[in-house]
Structure formats: structure tokens, C-alpha cells
Structure 1
Amino acid sequence: MRIRMVLSITLVFAIIFGLNGYIGWHGQVFLTNQLGSWFHPGIYWVVFWIVALSYLLAWAGSKVLPAGMKMVLKVVGSYWFALMQFGFLLLPLTDLAAGVLHLASVPAATFTPILGWIDVVIIVLVMIRGSYNARSPIVRKYEITIPKQAGDWEQLRIAVASDIHLGSIVGNRHLRKLVKHVNGLKPDLILLPGDVIDDDIRPFIRYDMGTTMRELQAPLGIYAVLGNHEYIGGHIPAFIEQMDKIGIRVLMDETVHIQDRLYLVGRKDKAAERTAEGRRALASLLEGTNLGQPIIVMDHQPYHLDKAEAAGADVMLSGHTHRGQISPNHLITRRLFELDWGYLKKGNLHAIVSSGFGTWGPPVRLGSRSEIIELIIHFKSNERKEE
């Protein structure tokens, strides 16, 4: 097992270094053409590798680097992740075009600057659009009916924001947009299905994000669950403490009976299965509940919809996938999950997966948007047919 892990890590680093070297070589060819004798390969490669490995440098030096330097490295490295993916997709096409032009006897001195500037313009435009998608959240509305009664409630309005990823990259500015949009919906209930923070709790505390988050308002309360990034960061007790201070209850394999009308189940993230405590099966969390009342489940990673439906859940709210965040990564998430984004009715279960409000790594989205879910649930008795 350890050998397999070492081989996997070695392969990942080989791919990262190989891809960066490929991108760096193209940069050298382009800059040599543009700058001529002014270009110094040695200086170029030193700067290039510092930029290319800045995220890893921030991670490796997390305990010794000053907070400001670590943040700069992380921000630069995050954007570089996006550039690396764009380069992986774009540069082979550039090489193909260069090969065709070479076969057509077009001088390299002619097509190299043209192809280079085309690449630069495309990458700049894509980065601008991707940054807009990431920083301009939308509200996506779903309206469903559950054939159960919830006391005298006819409907319930829920605001859902998954994958906020508060930290060095996503901070108070983006968080204020969340507060504005969510409070503008006037929700009865606010749910945060995991990855509220981006690994490290310290930026959340340092930049006093709790004060901003405290402005969220819902008469039935605000509830959250853990995502895989809370587990990766390893600051779960501190995270729960920070949430408690601002009136957000973190459910850890817990079921809450809200005003004796509906059940809210908050599951530990799937990452908990690798810990000593583990996580309980959903069926066990629903033992003793009145299955005749509506049951809403928050589970960060959208696995096992069939088990949620079999256990009696009416609604399952998830995130995690970001819908790939940067296209065409959605083709991968679509293969990994039965539902990687959007809405699916599976038996009596209404499953909703959000692309998330924040971003992991680069604050860039292509083929996805930063979103808040407005979920309106209508209740009615079992005797009436669903419209």
C-alpha cells in the first residue's frame, strides 16, 4: 500500500513538473522571439519555477514563512493552476498549427510571434471571463413538492451555499456578496453543506470573517456540515468553535427536529470514514424519526443517492464537485458522480448538488458559476397527487 502511494505521488509530481516544463519551454521560445538579446534564459527559468511552484512553496513553508509571503505565494500559485490547465489544452493546438505552417514552408520567425500572441490573447480573455464567473455569483432557484405534511407550514424557503472555501483566496469581499444575496432571499432556513473554509481556519480568524458571516439571518436558524476541506485542514474543533460564536450550528452526524415539523440531518463528510471515529450510516441517523414528516439531509459529497432514498430522505443537499470548476473538468465529475450538479428526482428523493459559492485553487470558473441555491419546498398531505 505504501509503495503504491509513493508511486502515485511520484507520478503526480512527474506530471506537474513535465507539464510546467512544457509550458515554460513555449514561454522561452516566445520571449526569445520577442526580446532577442534582452532575454536571459537563466533569470527566466528561476522566475518561472518560483511562480510555477509557488503553491507548493506556500504549503511546504506553511510553518516558517511570514503570513503575507505565504498568502502571496498561494494566490500566485492558485492562478497558475488555471494557467497550467489552459496551457495543457491550448499549447498542443499551437504546436499542431506550428507543424502545419512549417510543412507549408512558412518561416518560424513569421508564425512564432503570431501564434504566441494568439495564445496570450486567448489566455487573458479566458482568465477575465473565468474570474467574472467566479466573482459574480448567481441565485439558482429550485421549487419542489414533498407529499408530506409539515405541521401548518405550506412551504419553506431555504438558502443553500456550499463550498464557500473561506481563506486566503476567498475572503470578506466575496463573503459580503453571500450575505447580501442570501439575506435578500429572506429565507426561513440557511444551510451550508460543507467546505465552509478552505483547509486553514487561521485566515478566517485573522481577517475576522466571522463578523461578516454573523450578518446572515434566518428565523429557523443556520446549519452547516463538514466538508472534506475541513478534514484536510485538521482544525475541526476550532472551526466548530468559530461557527458557534456566530450562531451557526455544525451538525456532526446529528438529526435536528425543527419546530416539530421537519427533520434536518447533517452528516459528517465521507472523509470521516478514514478517521477513528468514522461516520454513521444515514439509516441509523433516521432511527426513531417520524418518516411521515419531511426529512432533509446535508451530505457534502453526493454519493449513494440510492441509500439516501432507501433510508427515507426526501431532500439531499450536497456540493463538493464545483461542477469541475474549470471546463472540461465537468466531464470528469460527471463520470464520478450519479449527479455532479443540478437536480435529480430519484424515487421519492429530491437530490440537489450545487456548484458552490467559492472556489478551490484559482478564483476562476469556466463552464460553471458561483451560485447560491434558493430552494422552495411545498408541503402537502399524502392523499393529494403531486403536481
Structure 2
Amino acid sequence: MNIVSALSFLFVFLVLNVWLSWNGSLFWSSILPEGMMSAYWIVYAVIAIAYIAAMLLRRALPYWGYALLKQIGSYGLAVLFYALLLVPAGDLIYGALRLAGMESDTALPVAGWTASGALLLLLLKGSWNAWRPIVRRYDIEIGKSGGAYESLRVMVASDLHLGNIVGKRHLRRLVRKAEELKPDLILMPGDVLDDSVEPFARERMADVMRELRAPLGVFVSLGNHEYYGGHISEYMERMKAIGIEVLTDRTVLVADSFYVAGRKDKAAEAMQNGRLPVAELLDGLDPAKPILLLDHQPYAFEKAAEAGADLMLSGHTHRGQMAPNHWITRRLFELDWGYMRKHAMHVIVSSGFGTWGPPVRIGSRSEVLDIRVTFTG
């Protein structure tokens, strides 16, 4: 982000927060005892700036201080996001009550409590959706021989975003899902890390992740957040140490029966070494064998299908994570969530297992995919 973009963002952020905090002060001053408004301004300031402060002061703060600020700020982002939608609704309710003849001293608390109650319900529901993953099942057929396998049960979990917000507790839920599903193969198409590998190492998350086991292996591709963190080599070494293979523009022939191919993330295209075109990645593979492709960002389905992929697995979008953002992702991507067929290739995009920023999901769920593949060749 250049200096002009940064200053523009900070200006808009400041203006929005002045407007939100002023509206909030009108409500809270009508119900709080005299002398308590200073507490409101302190709480609002912490909620508003905690996440940005954590990012800017990351290297200056002790790890525990950075982690605490980021956790507070993550929930703060959700509060501010939905406040932008609910404060105008509260203003409309206040105006309607005043037009109906209600006194201001009565109308203001009614409108304020309505908006505040709606915000609380959204945060509670969103937290439930984020921390209670569900299993979505897909049954597909691939018109090729699966070699030693007539069928395959594949568990997929994208976008774990392991870090200061999503940690070992949520990761254990993934392990339990794997124990329940008993998949033949586990695939994770990117963004296993939130950004830095530091929380993964400090919190010993590898001790939990090593419990993810499947007879045919566990394979992972890179997402944009692994690139943001800049510790890809260390991350790959830590994953290799627990028996999980990170595929960076590489293919693996599994049990002499099918291929798993993992692409570097699209973010690598702007870097020196770039990433292989999908046609080059899959060139030379036996076309009679099924090809399962991991590509974090759901782009270029046509090229993947033409290159010979039979199943493409992606994540990245979170299905917007917090509604109404799904209206945006729906227009940005050919498929932002769910299933589609692109010629002979199956495409499945997951809303993800973890969360970015606020551990809140509205209009989406934390999910694990249970894909039952039948080979019909």
C-alpha cells in the first residue's frame, strides 16, 4: 500500500469513526450515569484502533501484547462493520418514532437499544457459525480408472488461518472431524496460516496438526496469507516434520492410482519466481489417471479444465465471511462457494474452516468438506 492509499484509508477510517462514535455517544449518554461517558470513549477508542495498532506496533510490542491487541481488534472489526449498517437503521427508527409523536428522551433509548441488541445478536450468531464447523458432503463421479481404488473419500479443509485468533482449540475440532469421517485422503488448499508462522510455532500448533492422519496422506497448497507472512520455507519444514506435504507447483502420484497437484498461490505471480501455468504443471502426467488440483484462489477454471484436471479445490473467498459481503464475492468470482461443473472438471470452493480478522461468520459457516469420489472409467 503506497502512502497516498494509506493516507486515504486513514482519512476514511477517521471520518467513519467520528460519525459512529458521535451517534453512539448520543445513545450511551442518555442511559449512563453522569461521569461514565469517559468509559465509553475509552472502550470505543480501544475497539476502533486495536487491530491497526497491533499491525503497526507488531515489532515493538512483546508477543503477548501484540496477541492481545489483535484479539481485541479482531472483534472490534466486526463491531465496527455491523455498526456501519445498524447505526443508520437506528437513526431511521429514531426518526420514525419522533414522527409518530414519541418524545426524544424515549425515542433515543428505544432506537439505541434496538440497534445494540441487533449488534449483540449478530456477534453471538456469527461466533457460533465460526466456532461450530459443519460437514458438507459432495458426491462426484470421475470418468477415469482410480487404479487400486473404485472410490475415494476426501476430506477438505481450506483457510484455517491459524494464528492469534484461530488456534489449537479450533484445530482440535478439525482433528475430531477427521476422526469421525475417516477419510482416505486429506487436502488443504491454502491459507493454513493467518500470516506469520510465529503463533504456529509459539503455541505448538504442530503438536495438534500432526494428529491429522489419512491412509493416503495429507497434502497442502499455499495461499496468499502464507506469502503475506513471508516464512514459507520455515512453514514447509515444520509441516514436513509432522508428515504433511506442502505442494508448491508440484504433483504427486498417490498409490500409483491418481495425482494430487498443488499450485503456488496466485500472489506468487507478482514475485520473482512466479508460478507455473497450470498447463505446464500438469503437462506430462498420465491423462488416464485422475488429477486432483489444489489452487487456493478460485480463478481460471477454464484453463485448469483444459489442462486435464478432474477436480479443482479452492477456498480464499470465505463466502464473504460476514454478510452482506457475499454479494461482493459472488460478483468477483465465477464461483465463490459451492459446486459447479466446468466441462468435465468438477470445481468445489469452500467457505473455509477458520476466519480472517473477526472470528465471526454471518451468511457463511465454518465447514469441512466430505467429498465422495467414484471412479467410473
- Fold equivalence (TM over 0.5): yes
Aligned to 1:272: 268
Q: Secondary structure at the match of 1:120?
A: helix
By how many angstroms is 1:38 displaced?
Answer: 2.2
Q: Which residue identity does 1:116 align to in structure 2?
A: G
Q: Which residue number in structure 2 is paired with residue 327 of structure 1?
A: 323
Distance across 2 between alignment mates of 1:118 and 1:269: 43
Matched, 1:124 2:120: yes
CA contact under 8 A between 1:194 and 1:224: conserved in structure 2?
yes
Offset from partner CA, 1:123-145 (integer Å, 9 cap, x none): 11111111000000011110100
Q: Cα offset for 1:313?
A: 0.7
Mark the runs of 5 or more structure 2 residues left unpaired by the alignment. Answer: none
Query: Aligned partner of 1:309: which letter?
Result: A
Paired letter, 2:12: I
Q: State the partner residue of 1:84.
A: 80
Q: Deviations over 1:49-97 (max 9, x none)?
A: 2321101111111111111111111011100111111111111111122
Is 1:45 aligned to residue 41 of structure 2? Answer: yes
1-structure distance, mates of 2:6, 2:57:
19
C-alpha displacement at 1:183, in angstroms? 2.2
Match of 1:174 in 2: 170
- In structure 2, what is the equivalent of residue 208 of structure 1? 204
| Aligned equivalent of 1:17, options 11, 14, 32 | 14
Q: Please tell me the residue identity of whatever aligns with 2:88.
A: P
Task: Tell me which residue corresponds to 2:159.
Answer: 163
| Superposed displacement of residue 332, structure 1 | 0.5
1:51-62 equivalences under 5 Å are 51-62=47-58
Q: Name the SS for the 2:34 alignment partner.
A: helix
* Aligned pair partner of 2:253 in 249, 254, 257: 257
Separation in 1, partners of 2:266, 2:46: 35
Which amino acid in structure 1 is aligned with residue 244 of structure 2? Answer: I
Q: Which whole-Å CA distance do the structure 2 matches of 1:157 and 1:163 have between them?
A: 20
Structure 1 residue 113 and structure 2 residue 106: aligned?
no
So what's the TM-score if we normalise by structure 1?
Answer: 0.95
Question: 2: distance between equivalents of 1:47 and 1:121?
Answer: 18
Q: Which amino acid aligns with 1:358?
A: G
Distance in 2 separating the partners of 1:33 and 1:152:
72
For residue 301 of structure 1, give the secondary structure of its aligned residue in structure 2: coil
Q: CA deviation at 1:46?
A: 4.2
Which region of structure 1 is more displaced relative to structure 2, 302-311 or 96-105?
96-105
Task: Return the alpha-carbon distance in structure 1 between the equivalents of residues 46 and 86 of structure 2.
Answer: 22
Does the 8 Å contact 2:90/2:114 carry over to 1?
A: no
| Matched-pair contact (CA < 8 Å) for 1:19–1:84 | no
State the Cα distance separating 1:27 from its structure 2 match: 1.7
Query: 2:32 pairs with 7, 10, 35, which one?
Result: 35
Tell me by how many angstroms 1:7 deviates.
Answer: 3.4
Counterpart-to-counterpart distance in 2, 1:37 and 1:129: 33
Please report the TM-score for the alignment, with normalisation by the length of structure 2. Answer: 0.97
Counterpart contact for 1:182–1:372, Cα < 8 Å: no
The one-letter code sitting in structure 2 at the alignment partner of 1:48 is Y
1:340 pairs with 2:336: yes
Deviations 1:147-194 (A, max 9, x none): 001213100111100000111000111000000001211111110100
CA distance in 2 between counterparts of 1:30 and 1:331 reads: 31
Secondary structure of 1:53's counterpart equals helix
Structure 2 Cα separation of the partners of residues 112 and 370 of structure 1: 37
Matched residue SS, 2:32: helix
1:105 offset after TM fit, Å?
4.0
Match of 1:223 among 219, 224, 231: 219
Residues 22-58 of structure 1, C-alpha deviations (whole Å, 9 max, x = no match): 22112211121112522345x6434422321101111
Q: In percent, how many aligned pairs have the same letter?
A: 50
Name the CA distance, whole Å, in 1 between partners of 2:248 and 2:157: 18
CA-to-aligned-CA distance 1:223-259 (integer Å, 9 cap, x gap): 1011000001111111111101111100010011112
Q: Unpaired segments of 5 or more residues in structure 1?
A: 382-387
1:357 match: 353
| C-alpha RMSD of the superposition | 1.4
Distance 1:355 1:282 in 2: 23
The residue that corresponds to 1:64 in the other structure is 60
8 Å Cα contact 2:89-2:115 kept in structure 1: no
Aligned with residue 8 of structure 1, among 1, 5, 8: 5
Whole-Å separation in 1 of the counterparts to 2:159 and 2:17: 28
* Deviation for aligned residue 1:314: 0.6
Q: Which runs of 4+ in 1 moved over 4 A?
A: none
Q: Deviations over 1:188-233 (max 9, x none)?
A: 1110100001101111111111000101111111110110000011
How far apart in 1 are the matches of 2:37 and 2:342? Answer: 60
Question: 1:347 and 1:156 mapped to 2: Cα distance?
Answer: 21
SS of the aligned residue for 2:259 comes to strand
In 2, the alpha carbon distance for the partners of 1:349 and 1:325 equals 26
Q: Structure 1 residue 196 and structure 2 residue 192: aligned?
A: yes
Asked if 1:98 is matched to 2:80, the reply is no
